[in-house]
Amino acid sequence: MRCAVLGRPVAHSLSPVMHRAAYLELGVDWDYEAIDLGEDGLGTFLDGLDETWRGLSVTAPLKRPLVALLDDVSEDVELLGVANTVILGEERIGHNTDVSGGLNALREAGIDDVVSARILGGGATAASMTLTLSRLGVRRLEVAVRDPARAGEVVEVARRCGMAVEVTSLTDHDHGVVDVLVSTVPAAVVDPFRAHQAEAVFDVVYDPWPTALAAEGEARGIPVVNGLDLLAHQAALQVHLMTGGTVRPSLLRGAAALELAAR
């Protein structure tokens, strides 16, 4: 069987090394590759897949345009309009493993049953993390963005989840302490002082690591979760959806860490 990760750019993706490590652990003779693909070629690519294809991981910029090309989607994809996984068979079924992957990564770090949160950024990852936070119990959410006009999708997800939501500027730091801070923006635009305004930090960046924000959080002794944790947990869920097998996220995280160290 064949699987792949699609996106542009995609050469940097750690998905191949994680999925191949999973196949080795499960003892299945499957193939997983990285395919550079833009939005304009996505439909043609999907239409050309044969019965040897079982699953696809999908990254930027394809997570939103993919949804319109699927036959059915999970509840999370229906709510978010964002899919990062496709299971192939008689139909194309879309899933979003970022939501549950983020939830599992946070819980692994002991972050659970929280009430307030702050998200930096307003893109597709921020929308997925908003749904994740709602499942941790968050009811008050602040969305900090460079352009408030671009926060609409995240705000809509938050409201659908029953959250009280406030939009602020990414450069405005005069706000109180929250239970968890989630950064979905490039490390260079984040003031590390924000780690002093949270009881836990989740920075979706994984390379280079630690970011200034994460380092500040670690210096304070608060829980810190990184993008590699998210990648490993969501990839473990993808492997299960695609193969039916179960692998430990720690195995995938280790494989990804070794790949990063070798680059």
Which of the residues are catalytic?
63
Name the strand (E) or helix (H) holding 57.
strand 53-58
β pairing state of 85-88 and 53-58: antiparallel
Q: 21 and 74 in contact (C-beta within 8 Å)?
A: no
Q: 142 and 166 in contact (C-beta within 8 Å)?
A: yes
Residue with tokens 């192939």: 88
Q: How far apart are CA 91 and CA 55, in angstroms?
A: 11
Helices 227-243 and 249-262, interaxial angle, to 10°? 120
Pick from 33, 35, 98, 30: nearest CA to 64: 98
Nearest 5°: phi and psi at 249?
Answer: -55, -30
